Amino acid sequence: MQPIVYTIEKPDIAKWLERLLETAEVIAPVAGYSGEVVFSAISSPAQVLWDFENPLHPAKQFVLPQTDPIVAIKRNGQRHEVEPIYDDSRRVLFNVRSCDVKGIAFLTRMQEMEPADGSYLRRAYSLTVISLTCNTPCPLGFCVCTDSGPFLNGDYDIQLTDLGGKYLAEVGSEKGEAAVSNAANLFRTATEGEVSLRKRLETAARNRFGQETCHFASAMRRISTGRVQDALWEKISDWCLECGGCSLICPTCYCFSVRDRARDGNWIRYRIWDSCQYTAFTLEASGHNPHEQRKDRIKRRFFHKVSAQYYMRDGTVGCVGCGRCIKVCLGTADMPAVVAAIRKGKWHE
């Protein structure tokens, strides 16, 4: 749809949030127990942070929770009853950064592929995403390289931009329109000057990224044509500690395992995040493991994200440039480092 652009004065944001809180659970970046920033449900608008470091855990946890019950098996005497578990309560994700918006859009696109994942989609379709653009890039982000920031042209429901004393609110979907019409008296249509100011801010933000960020194109070509030496993968894998952190905090990683949990004589079948970096991820009951070596698993991860996702699936890179893997990796086997190594044909040492 053609984006409709409004503005809202900064003091009115609290009133809007109160209206949103009446109808849905609002999740926003808040200060955690030890001062770190986390995404959490809020009870009052004052909790919301406006100038914050992007939380370490991406917002994917609200569409694909770490443990996600999918089926309940109830025992009724001799009979078994199988019931699906759905979560379609209304949620508003407030003040998320562009990279997380793109991450959720990516996951939804993947889960919509046939056969569609009903459990995921119910949650995603009930979620309104209100994002906040980044006037200043975060120190580790490289979203300009993955077309996922610092400002977006789509995939959000509402995109807020800080214009000084007010916020520009670009509405990108019917869900966004609904969230605005909920408090229509607080918004007014934006002037042309305000829209052009947003464009100037976007250009300025793009220019603030450093020279060396993450050049995917040549790495994609090399990895797809098998021009990456095995020795290089081995070198990269020497720096991996198999912690799986990169998958758990990646906004585009969605691999999971399915487990059972007994509760009151019934069974809850739930899925739980898994990582392709764990040895047992591909272990078969026979003992055969096609990805026994660490270098195979590293290769698999980057082959999927940098090559297969682009060429075989939807023409995007499986990365939103949030820079979380740089923060979490205890070695240095993060996305920009590996892409640079593939591009240059040698590991940084």
Partner 1 sequence: MSTAFLTSEVRKPIDPMLPHLATIQDVKPTAVGISMFSLVFADPEERANYRFQAGQFNMLYLPGAGEVAISLSSDPGQPEVLGHTIRDAGSVTRAIGRLKAGDVIGVRGPYGSAWPLNKTRGSNLVIVAGGIGLAPLRPVILSILRQRSAYGQVVLLYGARTPADLLYTDEFDQWRQGGIDVQVTVDLGEESWRGLVGVVPQLFYRIRIDHKKTAVMACGPEIMMRFVIYEALARRIPKDRIYISMERNMKCAVGFCGHCQFGPTFICKQGPVLNFAAIEPFFGKEDF
Kindly state the smallest distance separating residue 68's Cβ from partner 1, in Å.
11
Query: Is 41 a binder of partner 1 (CB under 8 A)?
Result: no
CB contact at 8 A, 214 and 339: yes
Query: Is 256 a binder of partner 1 (CB under 8 A)?
Result: yes
Query: Is 226 a binder of partner 1 (CB under 8 A)?
Result: yes
Q: Which of 18, 36, 260, 314: binder of partner 1 (CB under 8 A)?
A: 260
Which one of 47-55, 184-192, 265-273, 331-339 is the stretch in contact with partner 1 (CB under 8 A)? 265-273
Query: Is 252 a binder of partner 1 (CB under 8 A)?
Result: no
| CA–CA separation, 13 and 161 (whole Å) | 13
Q: Which of 31, 231, 241, 312: binder of partner 1 (CB under 8 A)?
A: 312
Kindly state the smallest distance separating residue 313's Cβ from partner 1, in Å.
8
Rg (CA), the chain: 22
Q: Which of 14, 174, 196, 208: binder of partner 1 (CB under 8 A)?
A: 174
| CA–CA separation, 290 and 284 (whole Å) | 9
Q: Which residues contact 255 (CB under 8 A, 6 or more apart)?
A: 247, 273, 274, 275, 276, 281
Q: Which of 109, 259, 263, 346: binder of partner 1 (CB under 8 A)?
A: 259
Query: Is 71 a binder of partner 1 (CB under 8 A)?
Result: yes
Query: Is 238 a binder of partner 1 (CB under 8 A)?
Result: no
Number of residues that bind partner 1 (CB under 8 A): 66
Kindly state the smallest distance separating residue 18's Cβ from partner 1, in Å.
14
Q: How many CB atoms lie within 10 A of CB 338?
A: 28
Which one of 162-170, 192-200, 201-209, 302-310 is the stretch in contact with partner 1 (CB under 8 A)? 302-310
Query: Is 209 a binder of partner 1 (CB under 8 A)?
Result: no
Query: Is 343 a binder of partner 1 (CB under 8 A)?
Result: no
Kindly state the smallest distance separating residue 312's Cβ from partner 1, in Å.
4
Kindly state the smallest distance separating residue 182's Cβ from partner 1, in Å.
5
**Where along the sequence are the contacts to partner 1 (CB under 8 A)?**
23-24, 70-71, 73, 80, 82, 84, 88, 90, 111, 113, 115-122, 125-126, 128, 173-175, 177-179, 181-182, 226, 233, 254-260, 262, 267, 269, 271, 274, 276, 281-286, 288, 290-291, 293, 295-296, 299-300, 303-304, 307-308, 311-312
